[in-house]
């Protein structure tokens, strides 16, 4: 299915249902800049888009393997030669457009039980208004037993030489060479998000804990800022800021990396048969 576009005032957003239900662009003509990294025309890789959904889990599951309700579950390793399963199903499958208006659109993805032994429906709702862009997520367990799950978004933002990010968090998970968590520590000086960090030089791909749900991004040389607010069940923030790139990611998520294999669940939601979980993220641009 071809990209669709929604509009409100000076804002335009493009969505590609066929490429993981991903956000292809979001532009505000009043500010004169893209607010997420724009995908090239004809792009077919969600990793080149502005945002994609994380359902029914975010980040990595070690070796694609976990146990739940007495079952040993082995998931496909879905990211090239990477040794872990990553980011769920939504980003690598086509979604169906179920409704659209001038300033909003709703997509659905239906998953039938297989290697992930639970059937579910995921829904994304995009809406532009005077404040900016909101993306809602909904996940419904269609099976006849409980299902572990989580939700999140994976937005890509432009990284300029002066870009900064600020967020209230209380700690960070350090990682190994496979980006798997090794140890938690209080906020280190090099990643002092509460005070604000320059994105250039962060060299970060880590999950921050104790997030209060608000992240503030600024592009001083553009006179532009963006406030991202996550729903109440999005208690963690992943920051991916690779060196030398013109983008970075600030990902609101509901659970820790490899949470399905942790002893305390670390934010995993258990949905009973027929139950649902919902969340939303609001992106509000503003002048500095």
Instruction: Please tell me the total count of domains within the chain.
Output: 1
Check residue 55 and report its DSSP letter. Answer: B
Q: What is the CATH number of the domain that holds 106?
A: 2.70.98.10
Tracing tokens 């001083």 back to the chain, one arrives at 220
CA 42/CA 56 separation, integer angstroms: 27
- Residue 243 backbone phi and psi in degrees, to 5: -70, 140
Neighbours of 214 (CB within 10 A): 15
* Structure confidence at residue 143 (pLDDT): 96
Measured at the alpha carbon of residue 43, what is the angle toward residues 97 and 140, in degrees to the nearest 5? Answer: 35
Neighbours of 264 (CB within 10 A): 8
Q: Two tokens at 131?
A: 């404040």
Domain encompassing residue 165: 4-287
> Are the C-beta atoms of 6 and 103 separated by less than 8 Å?
yes
- Residue 93 backbone phi and psi in degrees, to 5: -135, 160
pTM value is 0.97
Tracing tokens 């090099």 back to the chain, one arrives at 190
The CA–CA distances, whole Å, from 159 to 33, 211, 242 equal 12, 22, 10
* Structure confidence at residue 1 (pLDDT): 72
* Structure confidence at residue 124 (pLDDT): 98
> Are the C-beta atoms of 197 and 162 separated by less than 8 Å?
no
* Structure confidence at residue 265 (pLDDT): 63
Q: Residue 29: CB partners within 8 Å, gap ≥ 6?
A: 10, 11, 12
CA torsion 216→219→225→228, rounded to 10°? -40
Q: Which of 284, 256, 282, 283 is nearest to 268 (CA)?
A: 256
Mean pLDDT per 10-residue run, the chain (288 residues)?
A: 94 98 97 96 96 97 96 95 97 98 98 97 98 98 97 98 98 96 95 97 96 98 97 95 96 97 86 98 97
Say how far residue 134 (Cα) sits from the centre of its chain: 13
């Amino acid at each position: 299915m071809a990209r669709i576009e929604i509009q409100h005032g000076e804002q335009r957003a493009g969505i590609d249902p066929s490429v993981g239900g991903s956000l292809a662009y979001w532009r505000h003509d009043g500010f004169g800049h893209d607010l997420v990294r724009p995908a090239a025309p004809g792009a077919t890789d969600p990793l080149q888009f502005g945002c994609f959904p994380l359902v029914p889990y975010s980040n990595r599951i070690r070796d694609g393997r976990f146990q739940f309700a007495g079952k040993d579950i082995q998931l496909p390793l879905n990211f090239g030669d990477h040794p872990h399963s990553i980011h769920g199903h939504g980003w690598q499958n086509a979604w169906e457009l179920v409704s659209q208006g001038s300033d909003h659109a709703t997509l659905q993805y239906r998953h039938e039980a297989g290697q992930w032994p639970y059937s579910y429906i995921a829904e994304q709702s995009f809406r532009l208004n005077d404040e900016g862009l909101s993306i809602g997520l909904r996940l419904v367990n269609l099976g006849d037993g409980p299902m572990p799950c989580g939700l999140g978004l994976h937005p890509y933002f432009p990284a300029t030489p002066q870009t900064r990010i600020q967020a209230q968090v209380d700690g960070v998970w350090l990682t190994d060479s496979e980006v798997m968590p090794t140890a938690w520590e209080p906020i280190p000086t090099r990643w002092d998000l509460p005070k604000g960090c320059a994105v250039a030089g962060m060299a970060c791909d880590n999950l921050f804990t104790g997030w209060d749900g608000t992240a503030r991004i600024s592009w001083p040389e553009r006179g532009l800022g963006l406030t991202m607010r996550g729903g109440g069940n999005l208690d963690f923030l992943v920051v991916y800021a690779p060196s030398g790139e013109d983008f970075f990611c600030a990902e609101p998520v509901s659970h820790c990396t490899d949470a399905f294999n942790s002893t305390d669940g670390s934010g995993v939601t258990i949905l009973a048969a027929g139950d649902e979980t919902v969340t939303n993220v609001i992106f509000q641009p503003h002048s500095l």
